């Protein structure tokens, strides 16, 4: 898949999303502690964070589903709960509470009727890969088919801003490919996308920016390459031709080790030295790859709690 542009399509346009000095409390729990976040037209922003970090609360504020304890939230310069802001926004959430007796086509026609300039029903069905499901009742669909319906309903209003919560969960390979292709096309047309995902490879593919939440605050807000660069050292991926000797990794200068069957992955600041040591210890290496740290390793390091 072609990587998306590295910055907003319209940098001089007013912000699409603006969170200013946001605090949100639930009783004694402070879910957000002074969050500032600006998202502009044409950006694809992936929001990451461990459980309880504040990312879900932030998305809820952007969608107007909840109100801040203090601070200001604006969508297109409007209150997020206003009709004008919502008419320009689409959202794909995990629990949509859809009526199970309606067919897929009926659901799409119903939802698109709420928007001033919706996409054609046929276009929505095609993009979401629902050509064989139009006459089926929602309650009869598989998990993957339901996920495609959620996506279809999110885009049916032709929104300028699209929120996607774990969009590829339960999708098969073909459904995931269709989704990724469409998101690339959507972003290149200047639309704005905000998504959450546990598939960090997906986040690296799609995002122009990655925003990391932890303990109610934004602790990183950078392009994927800059996030990965926070991890010093290199990643060595090794395919083993024989069982790893018991003492093969003893006193190696590595900061991370993953070993499963015939695959070994090491994180180190001295890849050449580590490889020399492994060869000297007669480790049977059939294939080796040295690269920078991936997004998962960077995410773990950034959110590591001491």
pLDDT, tens digit, 9 for 90 and up, residues 2-40: 334 344 545 566 799 999 999 999 999 999 999 999 999
134-138 contacts, C-beta under 8 A, 24 or more apart: 134/103, 134/104, 134/105, 135/103, 135/104, 135/105, 136/103, 136/104, 137/100, 137/101, 137/102, 137/103, 138/98, 138/99, 138/100, 138/101, 138/102, 138/103, 138/104, 138/107
Burial classification of residue 303, based on how many CB atoms lie within 10 Å of its CB (0-12 exposed, 13-18 middle, 19 or more buried): middle
- The average pLDDT across 72-77 equals 96
Q: Which residues of 130-162 are buried (b: 16+ CB within 10 A; e: fewer)?
A: beebeebebeebeebbbbbbbbbbbbbbbbbbb
Q: Are 192 and 40 in contact (CB under 8 A)?
A: yes
Cα separation values, 260 from 70, 243, 290, 296, Å:
48, 11, 18, 17
What is the reported pLDDT for 305? Answer: 60
pLDDT, tens digit, 9 for 90 and up, residues 150-176: 999 999 999 999 999 888 887 788 878
- Same topology for domains 17-228 and 234-302, yes or no? no
What topology is assigned to 17-228 in CATH?
Answer: Rossmann fold (3.40.50)
- Number of Cβ within 10 Å of residue 191's Cβ equals 22
Rounded Cα distance, 261 and 247, in Å = 16
- The domains of the chain are located at 17-228, 234-302
Joined tokens for residue 139: 């309650």
What is the reported pLDDT for 13? Answer: 65
pLDDT, tens digit, 9 for 90 and up, residues 257-270: 989 989 999 988 89
Joined tokens for residue 284: 């049977």
Contacts of 260 (CB under 8 A, 6+ apart): none
Coil, strand or helix at 74? strand
pLDDT, tens digit, 9 for 90 and up, residues 84-133: 999 999 999 876 688 999 999 999 999 999 999 999 999 999 988 899 99
What topology is assigned to 234-302 in CATH?
Answer: Alpha-Beta Plaits (3.30.70)
């Amino acid at each position: 898949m072609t990587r998306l542009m590295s910055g907003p399509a319209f940098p001089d346009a007013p912000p699409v999303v603006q969170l200013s000095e946001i605090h949100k409390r639930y009783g004694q729990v402070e879910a957000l502690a002074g969050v500032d976040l600006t998202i502009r037209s044409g950006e694809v922003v992936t929001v990451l964070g461990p459980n309880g970090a504040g990312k879900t609360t932030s998305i809820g504020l952007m969608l107007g589903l909840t109100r801040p304890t203090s601070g200001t939230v604006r969508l297109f310069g409007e209150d997020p709960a206003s009709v004008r802001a919502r008419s320009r926004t689409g959202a794909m959430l995990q629990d949509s509470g859809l009526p199970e007796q309606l067919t897929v086509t009926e659901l799409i026609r119903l939802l698109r009727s709420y928007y001033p300039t919706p996409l054609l029903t046929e276009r929505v069905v095609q993009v979401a890969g629902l050509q064989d499901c139009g006459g089926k009742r929602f309650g009869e669909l598989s998990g993957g088919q339901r996920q495609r319906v959620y996506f279809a309903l999110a885009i049916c209003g032709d929104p300028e801003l699209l929120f996607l919560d774990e969009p590829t969960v339960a999708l098969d390979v073909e459904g995931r490919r269709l989704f990724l292709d469409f998101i690339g096309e959507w972003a290149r047309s200047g639309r704005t996308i905000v998504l959450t995902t546990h598939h960090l490879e997906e986040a690296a593919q799609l995002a122009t920016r990655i925003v990391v939440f932890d303990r109610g605050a934004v602790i990183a807000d950078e392009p994927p390459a800059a996030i990965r660069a926070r991890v010093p050292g290199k990643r060595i991926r090794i395919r083993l031709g024989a069982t790893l000797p018991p003492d093969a990794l003893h006193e190696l200068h590595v900061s991370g080790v993953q070993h499963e069957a015939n695959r070994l992955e090491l994180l180190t600041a001295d890849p050449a030295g580590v490889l020399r040591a492994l060869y000297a210890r007669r480790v049977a290496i059939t294939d080796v790859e040295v690269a920078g740290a991936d997004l998962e390793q960077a995410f773990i390091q950034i959110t590591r709690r001491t």
